[in-house]
Structure 1
Amino acid sequence: MADAYLQVIAHFYAKPGNGDALVAPLTELAAATRTEPSNLYYEFFRSPLAPDHFVILEKYRDANGLTAHRETEHFQRLGFGTIIPLLERREVSSHMVPGDSA
Protein backbone atom coordinates (compact mmCIF):
# COMPACT_ATOMS: atom_id res chain seq x y z
CA MET A 1 0.00 0.00 0.00
CA ALA A 2 1.75 3.15 -1.18
CA ASP A 3 1.64 6.26 0.98
CA ALA A 4 0.21 4.33 3.91
CA TYR A 5 0.92 4.80 7.58
CA LEU A 6 0.73 2.52 10.57
CA GLN A 7 -1.99 3.55 13.03
CA VAL A 8 -1.77 2.03 16.50
CA ILE A 9 -4.72 2.04 18.88
CA ALA A 10 -4.01 0.90 22.43
CA HIS A 11 -6.36 0.52 25.37
CA PHE A 12 -4.63 0.45 28.73
CA TYR A 13 -6.61 -0.66 31.77
CA ALA A 14 -4.81 0.19 34.98
CA LYS A 15 -5.09 -2.06 37.98
CA PRO A 16 -7.97 -0.64 40.05
CA GLY A 17 -7.03 2.73 41.53
CA ASN A 18 -3.77 3.08 39.58
CA GLY A 19 -4.99 5.48 36.88
CA ASP A 20 -3.40 8.51 38.53
CA ALA A 21 -0.03 6.73 38.63
CA LEU A 22 -0.09 6.33 34.83
CA VAL A 23 -0.50 10.00 33.93
CA ALA A 24 3.10 11.17 34.54
CA PRO A 25 4.86 8.24 32.80
CA LEU A 26 2.42 8.36 29.87
CA THR A 27 3.03 12.10 29.54
CA GLU A 28 6.80 11.55 29.53
CA LEU A 29 6.52 8.65 27.08
CA ALA A 30 4.33 10.71 24.74
CA ALA A 31 6.81 13.60 24.70
CA ALA A 32 9.78 11.28 24.04
CA THR A 33 7.93 9.29 21.38
CA ARG A 34 7.05 12.45 19.44
CA THR A 35 10.79 13.04 18.91
CA GLU A 36 11.27 9.70 17.16
CA PRO A 37 12.02 10.08 13.41
CA SER A 38 9.20 7.73 12.31
CA ASN A 39 6.55 8.98 14.72
CA LEU A 40 3.89 11.21 13.19
CA TYR A 41 1.44 11.39 16.10
CA TYR A 42 1.19 10.23 19.71
CA GLU A 43 -1.58 11.22 22.10
CA PHE A 44 -3.28 9.57 25.02
CA PHE A 45 -6.70 10.11 26.48
CA ARG A 46 -8.15 9.22 29.88
CA SER A 47 -11.77 8.21 30.24
CA PRO A 48 -13.76 10.61 32.43
CA LEU A 49 -16.14 7.79 33.37
CA ALA A 50 -13.55 5.06 33.97
CA PRO A 51 -10.37 6.83 35.19
CA ASP A 52 -8.32 3.63 35.07
CA HIS A 53 -8.91 3.34 31.28
CA PHE A 54 -6.63 5.12 28.80
CA VAL A 55 -6.65 5.14 25.00
CA ILE A 56 -3.39 5.80 23.17
CA LEU A 57 -3.34 6.76 19.49
CA GLU A 58 -0.03 6.49 17.66
CA LYS A 59 0.86 6.99 14.01
CA TYR A 60 4.14 5.90 12.40
CA ARG A 61 5.55 6.24 8.89
CA ASP A 62 5.54 2.43 8.62
CA ALA A 63 5.63 -0.77 10.65
CA ASN A 64 9.38 -0.38 11.15
CA GLY A 65 8.66 2.84 13.05
CA LEU A 66 6.66 0.92 15.64
CA THR A 67 9.41 -1.69 15.93
CA ALA A 68 11.99 1.05 16.46
CA HIS A 69 9.71 2.72 19.04
CA ARG A 70 9.51 -0.45 21.11
CA GLU A 71 13.31 -0.66 21.16
CA THR A 72 13.93 2.90 22.39
CA GLU A 73 15.35 3.59 25.83
CA HIS A 74 12.26 5.58 26.83
CA PHE A 75 9.86 2.78 25.87
CA GLN A 76 11.96 0.16 27.61
CA ARG A 77 12.19 2.29 30.77
CA LEU A 78 8.71 3.84 30.86
CA GLY A 79 6.63 1.32 28.93
CA PHE A 80 8.05 -1.96 30.17
CA GLY A 81 9.53 -0.66 33.41
CA THR A 82 6.78 1.61 34.75
CA ILE A 83 3.52 1.59 32.79
CA ILE A 84 2.93 -2.07 31.95
CA PRO A 85 3.44 -3.29 35.56
CA LEU A 86 0.60 -0.93 36.60
CA LEU A 87 -1.83 -2.43 34.10
CA GLU A 88 -4.49 -5.02 34.64
CA ARG A 89 -4.58 -5.56 30.88
CA ARG A 90 -3.83 -3.88 27.58
CA GLU A 91 -5.23 -4.27 24.11
CA VAL A 92 -3.11 -3.05 21.21
CA SER A 93 -4.00 -3.19 17.52
CA SER A 94 -2.30 -1.73 14.48
CA HIS A 95 -3.66 -0.97 11.05
CA MET A 96 -2.24 0.31 7.80
CA VAL A 97 -4.14 3.44 6.79
CA PRO A 98 -3.91 5.46 3.59
CA GLY A 99 -1.79 8.57 3.72
CA ASP A 100 -3.25 12.01 3.35
CA SER A 101 -1.93 14.99 1.49
CA ALA A 102 -1.17 16.93 4.68
Structure 2
Amino acid sequence: MRLVAPQSISRLGGASSSSATAIQVWNRPPDPNASPLPAMIRCMMASTIPVDQSPGTPDERQEMIFIVVKFTLKPEYSENWLERVNDFTTATRAEPGNIFFEWSKSVEESHQFVLCEAFRDGEAGSAHVNSDHFRAAMSWFPDAVIRNPQIVNVEVPGEDWMEMAEVQPR
Protein backbone atom coordinates (compact mmCIF):
# COMPACT_ATOMS: atom_id res chain seq x y z
CA MET A 1 0.00 0.00 0.00
CA ARG A 2 1.08 3.56 -0.48
CA LEU A 3 -0.10 7.02 0.41
CA VAL A 4 -1.43 8.96 -2.52
CA ALA A 5 0.26 12.18 -3.50
CA PRO A 6 -0.19 15.15 -1.12
CA GLN A 7 -2.47 16.91 -3.60
CA SER A 8 -4.95 14.04 -3.08
CA ILE A 9 -5.20 14.75 0.64
CA SER A 10 -8.19 16.94 1.39
CA ARG A 11 -10.11 18.38 4.32
CA LEU A 12 -13.46 16.78 5.05
CA GLY A 13 -16.36 18.76 3.59
CA GLY A 14 -17.33 21.75 5.71
CA ALA A 15 -14.57 21.11 8.21
CA SER A 16 -12.65 23.89 9.87
CA SER A 17 -8.86 24.02 9.84
CA SER A 18 -8.70 22.30 13.24
CA SER A 19 -10.78 19.30 12.23
CA ALA A 20 -9.81 15.95 10.81
CA THR A 21 -7.94 15.40 7.60
CA ALA A 22 -8.95 12.46 5.41
CA ILE A 23 -5.96 10.65 4.00
CA GLN A 24 -6.68 8.26 1.18
CA VAL A 25 -4.57 5.13 1.12
CA TRP A 26 -4.64 3.00 -2.03
CA ASN A 27 -3.28 -0.43 -2.77
CA ARG A 28 -3.07 0.59 -6.44
CA PRO A 29 -3.49 3.84 -8.38
CA PRO A 30 -7.15 4.88 -8.37
CA ASP A 31 -9.30 3.92 -11.34
CA PRO A 32 -11.32 7.03 -12.25
CA ASN A 33 -14.18 4.82 -13.50
CA ALA A 34 -14.42 2.65 -10.38
CA SER A 35 -15.82 3.36 -6.95
CA PRO A 36 -12.89 4.29 -4.71
CA LEU A 37 -14.30 2.83 -1.50
CA PRO A 38 -13.28 -0.85 -1.87
CA ALA A 39 -9.64 0.08 -2.52
CA MET A 40 -9.44 2.94 -0.04
CA ILE A 41 -8.94 3.22 3.68
CA ARG A 42 -9.76 6.53 5.29
CA CYS A 43 -7.46 7.37 8.15
CA MET A 44 -8.90 10.09 10.34
CA MET A 45 -6.04 12.16 11.67
CA ALA A 46 -7.44 14.64 14.15
CA SER A 47 -5.31 17.44 15.47
CA THR A 48 -2.17 16.09 13.94
CA ILE A 49 0.38 18.27 12.26
CA PRO A 50 -1.48 18.99 9.03
CA VAL A 51 0.23 17.15 6.20
CA ASP A 52 0.66 20.33 4.19
CA GLN A 53 2.17 22.13 7.20
CA SER A 54 4.52 19.41 8.47
CA PRO A 55 8.05 20.66 9.10
CA GLY A 56 10.63 19.85 6.46
CA THR A 57 10.32 18.64 2.93
CA PRO A 58 8.27 15.52 2.13
CA ASP A 59 11.50 13.49 2.14
CA GLU A 60 12.40 14.73 5.64
CA ARG A 61 9.03 13.99 7.31
CA GLN A 62 8.91 11.05 9.68
CA GLU A 63 6.55 8.24 8.65
CA MET A 64 5.76 5.21 10.75
CA ILE A 65 4.41 1.80 9.79
CA PHE A 66 0.89 1.56 11.26
CA ILE A 67 -0.79 -1.85 11.37
CA VAL A 68 -4.18 -3.00 12.63
CA VAL A 69 -5.02 -6.71 12.57
CA LYS A 70 -8.33 -8.38 13.49
CA PHE A 71 -7.92 -11.95 14.77
CA THR A 72 -11.13 -13.97 15.03
CA LEU A 73 -10.32 -16.89 17.27
CA LYS A 74 -11.62 -20.33 18.07
CA PRO A 75 -13.55 -20.10 21.36
CA GLU A 76 -11.03 -22.28 23.21
CA TYR A 77 -8.29 -19.74 22.42
CA SER A 78 -10.13 -16.50 23.07
CA GLU A 79 -10.72 -16.92 26.80
CA ASN A 80 -7.02 -16.68 27.62
CA TRP A 81 -5.72 -15.02 24.44
CA LEU A 82 -3.80 -12.23 26.17
CA GLU A 83 -2.01 -14.78 28.34
CA ARG A 84 -1.21 -16.91 25.27
CA VAL A 85 0.32 -13.94 23.39
CA ASN A 86 2.10 -12.43 26.40
CA ASP A 87 5.63 -13.59 25.43
CA PHE A 88 5.10 -12.44 21.83
CA THR A 89 3.74 -9.08 23.01
CA THR A 90 6.54 -8.51 25.53
CA ALA A 91 9.26 -9.39 23.01
CA THR A 92 7.74 -7.17 20.32
CA ARG A 93 7.44 -4.20 22.69
CA ALA A 94 11.15 -4.63 23.50
CA GLU A 95 12.18 -4.27 19.84
CA PRO A 96 14.11 -1.03 19.29
CA GLY A 97 11.88 0.02 16.37
CA ASN A 98 8.52 -0.75 18.01
CA ILE A 99 6.43 2.31 18.87
CA PHE A 100 3.40 0.52 20.28
CA PHE A 101 1.84 -2.95 20.31
CA GLU A 102 -1.63 -3.01 21.87
CA TRP A 103 -4.34 -5.66 22.02
CA SER A 104 -8.08 -4.92 22.38
CA LYS A 105 -11.10 -7.19 22.57
CA SER A 106 -13.93 -6.52 20.16
CA VAL A 107 -17.23 -5.44 21.70
CA GLU A 108 -19.11 -6.74 18.66
CA GLU A 109 -17.55 -10.19 18.12
CA SER A 110 -16.94 -12.12 21.32
CA HIS A 111 -14.00 -14.11 19.97
CA GLN A 112 -12.23 -11.31 18.13
CA PHE A 113 -9.12 -9.42 19.25
CA VAL A 114 -7.70 -6.38 17.49
CA LEU A 115 -3.97 -5.71 17.45
CA CYS A 116 -2.88 -2.12 16.87
CA GLU A 117 0.85 -1.77 16.30
CA ALA A 118 3.36 0.69 14.90
CA PHE A 119 7.02 0.58 13.94
CA ARG A 120 9.52 3.39 13.43
CA ASP A 121 10.08 2.57 9.75
CA GLY A 122 10.23 -0.22 7.19
CA GLU A 123 13.51 -1.47 8.58
CA ALA A 124 11.95 -1.87 12.04
CA GLY A 125 8.93 -3.62 10.51
CA SER A 126 11.21 -6.00 8.63
CA ALA A 127 13.20 -6.75 11.79
CA HIS A 128 9.91 -7.56 13.53
CA VAL A 129 8.64 -10.05 10.94
CA ASN A 130 12.07 -11.69 10.78
CA SER A 131 12.40 -12.04 14.57
CA ASP A 132 12.36 -15.39 16.35
CA HIS A 133 9.34 -14.39 18.47
CA PHE A 134 7.35 -13.43 15.35
CA ARG A 135 8.16 -16.73 13.66
CA ALA A 136 7.27 -18.62 16.85
CA ALA A 137 3.90 -16.85 17.10
CA MET A 138 3.13 -17.42 13.42
CA SER A 139 3.82 -21.14 13.88
CA TRP A 140 0.83 -21.56 16.22
CA PHE A 141 -1.49 -18.64 15.27
CA PRO A 142 -3.07 -20.68 12.42
CA ASP A 143 -4.31 -23.16 15.04
CA ALA A 144 -6.03 -20.34 16.96
CA VAL A 145 -7.94 -18.52 14.21
CA ILE A 146 -11.22 -19.52 12.57
CA ARG A 147 -10.54 -17.39 9.46
CA ASN A 148 -7.70 -15.41 7.95
CA PRO A 149 -6.94 -12.31 10.01
CA GLN A 150 -7.91 -8.99 8.44
CA ILE A 151 -5.13 -6.41 8.22
CA VAL A 152 -4.51 -2.77 7.40
CA ASN A 153 -0.81 -2.01 6.93
CA VAL A 154 0.10 1.56 5.92
CA GLU A 155 2.78 4.18 6.27
CA VAL A 156 1.45 7.31 7.94
CA PRO A 157 3.01 10.63 8.93
CA GLY A 158 4.01 10.72 12.58
CA GLU A 159 6.16 9.13 15.23
CA ASP A 160 3.57 8.05 17.84
CA TRP A 161 -0.04 8.56 18.93
CA MET A 162 -1.31 12.14 18.56
CA GLU A 163 -3.93 14.03 20.55
CA MET A 164 -7.45 14.42 19.20
CA ALA A 165 -8.59 18.04 18.93
CA GLU A 166 -12.34 17.41 18.97
CA VAL A 167 -12.46 15.99 22.51
CA GLN A 168 -10.90 17.90 25.39
CA PRO A 169 -11.34 16.98 29.08
CA ARG A 170 -13.66 19.31 31.02
Q: Which runs of 5+ in 1 are unaligned?
A: none
Structure 1 position 81 matched with structure 2 position 81:
no
Q: TM-score, normalised by structure 1?
A: 0.84
State the shift of 1:12 in Å: 0.4
Q: Secondary structure at the match of 1:18?
A: helix
Number of positions where the alignment pairs a residue of Structure 1 with one of Structure 2: 101
Q: Contact 2:104–2:114 at 8 Å: present in 1 too?
A: yes
Partner of 1:24: 83
Partner of 2:97: 38
State the shift of 1:96 in Å: 1.1
What is the RMSD of the two structures over their aligned residues, measured on CA atoms?
A: 2.1
Partner of 2:63: 4
Q: TM-score, normalised by structure 2?
A: 0.53
Q: Which runs of 5+ in 2 are unaligned?
A: 1-57, 163-170
- 1:41-88 per-position Cα deviation (integer Å, ceiling 9, x unaligned): 0010112443310000101011222221111111111x2122232111
Question: Which one has the bigger strand percentage?
Answer: 1
Q: Contact 1:26–1:44 at 8 Å: present in 2 too?
A: no
Higher Cα Rg: structure 1 or 2? Answer: 2
Provide the identity percentage.
24
Question: Which one has the bigger helix percentage?
Answer: 1
Which aligned segments of 4 or more residues in structure 1 are displaced greater than 6 angstroms? Answer: none
Partner of 2:123: 64
Aligned mates of 2:63, 2:125 — CA distance in 1? 14
